[in-house]
Structure 1
Amino acid sequence: MSFRADSIPRRREGADGQRFGEDFVVLDPEGHMLRGLNETAARVWELMDGRRTARDIAGELAREYGVEVEPVLGDCLRLLDRLAGHGLLDAKEVLR
């Protein structure tokens, strides 16, 4: 799966993320723990609500960190592709 700026990432049914102190870990739908996410990746996970596009998520991150949107969007899309590769995400496309 390859995410685009107008894709709406959604966690797969049964995938979950949890904060444990300073760590953020993700469980796949089968309940296997995957490697923890860094703070920025964890924030992407938290912002995925099934309504926001990848561009919306990147825009929120850019605003929170005080940086330009385009580099954040590229990083966000790469992360979404990696998470999807681990079976954690689905996406729907926005028809415009």
Structure 2
Amino acid sequence: MSAPAANGFAASSVPVPRQGVSGQRFGEDYIVLDAEGRTLRGLNATAVHVWGLCDGIRTARAVAEQVARDYSIDTEQALADTLRFLSDLARLGLIDELLEVR
């Protein structure tokens, strides 16, 4: 694994939760705990869906294409939004970019 590029994720990047990071539903919220036990709260349904698709196999483009199909939205808009979200998660230390697909 490597750290994400400074400018964020590319469509060909393969996102995977960072080792030690976990997520779970807590009432109405979805909580993501980083390896140090800090939390990121308030992921909306779409963000939780994207998080679940980050499996170390799919590229960011494949994640966005699945989101576009599941929510009947424009693929290019889904890709732009997904890349922005993945870049935010990377800056928070919650996901990594794989150099090679598992």
Q: TM-score, normalised by structure 2?
A: 0.86
2: distance between equivalents of 1:85 and 1:71? 21
Shift of residue 60, structure 1, vs aligned partner: 0.6
Matched to 1:5, the amino acid is A
Identity %: 52
Q: Which amino acid aligns with 1:75?
A: D
Which residue among 8, 29, 35 is the counterpart of 1:29?
Answer: 35
Corresponding residue for residue 87 of structure 1: 93
Q: 1:91, 1:40 → 2: CA distance?
A: 20
Contact 2:16–2:55 (CA under 8 A) maintained in structure 1: yes
Paired residue type of 2:19: E
Q: CA RMSD in A?
A: 1.2
In the TM superposition, residue 93 of structure 1 has moved relative to its aligned partner by: 4.3
**TM-superposed deviation, 1:3:** 0.3
Q: How many angstroms does 1:69 deviate by? A: 0.6
Matched, 1:62 2:45: no
Deviation at 1:33, TM superposition (A): 1.4
DSSP-derived class of the 2:14 partner: strand
Counterpart AA for 2:81: D
Unaligned runs of 5+ in 2: none
Unaligned runs of 5+ in 1: none
Instruction: Give the TM-score, by structure 1 length.
Output: 0.91
CA contact (8 A) 1:9 1:54 kept: yes
